[in-house]
A and B are shown apart, each in its own frame.
Chain A
Amino acid sequence: MQLLYFGWVRTKIGSGRETLDPPAEIADVRSLVEWLKQRGDGYQEALQDLETIRVAVNQEMVDLDALVSPSDEIALFPPMTGG
């Protein structure tokens, strides 16, 4: 599973991209985020407030209940500030 992080999610986690192999029971975004939070303090700090986290699966915006699979590209980031 390809994980991408942007903005302060990236700086708190300390990496912009990684390939991870979550356990098979990780089936949706919410459980993936909970699993990621156990990987370290940076993850915990970046992902503690789900209200401030936006998620894209394969470059499409989704909500926390969206399903994920090992072949997906999943991006976690703060609310966007374009323009």
Chain B
Amino acid sequence: MIKVQEQDFDIGAELASLTDGNTSVGGLGCFVGLVRDMANEEQISSMTLEHYPGMTEKQLAALEAEARDRWTLLDVLIIHRYGRLEPGDRIVLVGTTSAHREAALESCHFLIDWLKTKAPFWKLEESDTGESWVAARDSDDDAADRWSDTATQSEQKKV
């Protein structure tokens, strides 16, 4: 399930909704991304997330489909916020459930790595020195690229 929203989310309630009533779940993998207070050694007062309505939902749904194709998953939840956020605010939640931990943890890691470079969001940081757009990082590309080598995954579905 994909949710693109301005409002905050309740981590406990969202994760519970992934597992409640489904006793075949053996493991839940989860990642929560938050706004840091420092960027490039500068104190950040806010971060505004802009996105491309319509395409964002399509891209996230495509990522979910890719994860479900690569691992045996029972459910996937991606929540991504947009709008003005402050340090400590939650930005994103990725939750994945499976019968076993490898699929849950690996697919969660895969989703957050791919989401960094394939979901149409842009971050504007505000600090004492003004506003600046967050630049894409090579390390994020590298993190996304390593999932291209599917042979390294432990629970790869056989094609």
Contact = CB atoms under 8 A, between A and B. Distances in A.
Interface stretch (B14-22, B100-108, B110-118, B151-159): B110-118
B121 to A, nearest CB: 4
Interface stretch (B5-13, B47-55, B65-73): B47-55
Interface in A8-46: 8, 10-11
Contacts, number: 67
Highest count of chain B CB atoms <10 Å: which of A4, A7, A77, A82: A82
Contacts of A77: 52, 120, 122
Highest count of chain A CB atoms <10 Å: which of B120, B121, B135: B120
Interface in B80-106: 80, 91-92
B33 A80 contact: no
Contact of B122 (A56, A59, A81): A81
Given A82-B117, A82-B119, A75 B55 contact: yes
Given A81-B116, A82-B115, A6 B92 contact: no
A56 B52 CA distance: 10
B146 interface: no
B55 A81 contact: no
Interface of A: 4, 6-8, 10-11, 56, 59, 75, 77-83
A-B pairs, 9 with minimum CB distance: A79-B136, A7-B122, A82-B119, A82-B121, A59-B55, A83-B116, A8-B133, A83-B115, A81-B134
Given A10-B50, A77-B120, 18 more contacts: A6-B51, A6-B52, A59-B55, A75-B55, A75-B120, A77-B52, A77-B122, A78-B122, A78-B136, A79-B117, A79-B135, A79-B136, A80-B122, A80-B136, A82-B116, A83-B91, A83-B116, A83-B119
